[in-house]
Structure 1
Amino acid sequence: MPFIAIDFEASCLPQYGRSFPIEVGIATDFGWSRSWLIKPHASWRDWQWSEEAETLHGISRERLAREGMDVAEVARHLRAAVGGYELIADSYFDDEWSRVLFRAAGEPDHVAVRCLADLRAFHDIDPERLHRAMAEADMQRARRHRAEDDARWLARLLGELGLERAMSTYAPPARSIWQGELISAP
Structure 2
Amino acid sequence: MTVPIIIDFEASGFGQGSYPIEVGFSGRHGEGWCSLIRPEDDWTHWDLDAARLHGIAREILIERGNTALFVAEQLNFFLGGRTVYTDGWGQDYVWMARLFDSAQITPKFKLIDLFEIIEDDQLPNWDATKDQIMKELCVARHRASSDARVLQLTWLRTYDEAKKQAV
TM (norm. structure 1) is 0.76
C-alpha contact (below 8 Å) 2:35/2:66 kept by paired residues: yes
Counterpart residue number, 2:163 = none
d(CA) in 1 for partners of 2:30, 2:8: 15
Deviation at 1:28, TM superposition (A): 3.1
Residue 95 of structure 1 and its aligned partner are, at CA, apart by 1.4
**CA RMSD, 1 decimal:** 2.0
Alignment match, 2:112: 114
Which amino acid in 2 is paired with 1:3? Answer: P
Higher helix share: 2
**Of 120, 123, 132, which residue of structure 2 is paired with 1:124?**
120
Give the equivalent residue in structure 2 for 1:100.
Answer: 98
Q: Which runs of 5+ in 2 are unaligned?
A: 161-167
Q: How does 1:130-169 map to 2 (within 5 A)?
A: 130-139=126-135, 140-162=137-159
Q: Give the number of aligned pairs.
A: 157
Q: Which amino acid aligns with 1:34?
A: W
Q: Distance in 2 between matches of 1:131 and 1:25?
A: 21
**Which residue is equivalent to 1:183?**
none
**Alignment CA distance shift 1:108-1:2 (3 Å):** same
- Per the alignment, residue 182 of structure 1 pairs with none
**Per the alignment, do residues 72 and 149 of structure 1 end up closer, same or farther by CA in structure 2, a change over 3 Å counting?**
same
Return the alpha-carbon distance in structure 1 between the equivalents of residues 35 and 109 of structure 2.
Answer: 15
Match of 1:5, SS state, is strand
Structure 1 unaligned runs (5+)? 164-186
Distance in 1, Cα, partners of 2:154 & 2:40: 33
Matched residue, 1:5: 6
1:2 offset after TM fit, Å?
A: 5.6
Distance 1:118 1:23 in 2: 24
Taking structure 1 as reference, are residues 40 and 110 closer, same or farther at Cα in structure 2, changes over 3 Å only?
farther
Report the TM-score, using the length of structure 2 for normalisation: 0.84
Question: Which letter does structure 2 place at the counterpart of 1:39?
Answer: R
Q: Any idea what SS the aligned residue of 1:144 has?
A: coil
Shift of 1:111: 4.0
The code of the aligned residue for 1:54 comes to: A
Instruction: Quote the offset at 1:13 in angstroms.
Output: 1.4
Tell whether 2:83 aligns with 1:82: no
Q: CA deviation at 1:29?
A: 5.9
Separation (CA, whole Å) in 1 of partners of 2:18 and 2:108: 17
CA contact (8 A) 2:81 2:110 kept: no
CA distance in 1, matches of 2:64, 2:20: 14
Q: Percent identity?
A: 31
8 A contact 1:29–1:159 mirrored in 2? no
